[in-house]
Amino acid sequence: MKQLDCDEVKRSVHEYLHSAMHEQELDAVTAHLANCDSCEQHYDIEIVFNQVIQRSCDEAPTSELAERVMQRLREIQDHD
């Protein structure tokens, strides 16, 4: 199995979280995370970040925000 350094692992954490890698790459990242506290912390932060994004995307915007966005879109269209 290929050994990865911390930079490689940190660059690939997003893909790792979404299983968007080949099995050998997943295994290499898993092995590195198991033995590297710094990369494990980076991984944990990425998990929280993804959860916040997911939660934000699942919530409907308030009517005030929706109206502000629509108003801004109208302004942009009027200038074109």
- Least Cα distance to 46 among 1, 11, 7 occurs for 11
Q: What is the pLDDT of residue 70?
A: 87
Domain definitions of the chain by residue range: 6-79
Q: Cα dihedral angle (35, 39, 45, 51), rounded to 10 degrees?
A: -70
Measured distance CA(10)–CA(4) in Å, rounded: 10
Residue in this structure with the two tokens 């506290």, named with its chain if needed: 37
Residue in this structure with the two tokens 């893909």, named with its chain if needed: 15
Q: What is the pLDDT of residue 80?
A: 60
- Give the predicted TM-score (pTM) of the model: 0.63
pLDDT in tens, 27-80: 999 999 999 999 999 999 999 988 888 887 777 778 888 888 889 988 888 876
Q: What is the pLDDT of residue 26?
A: 93
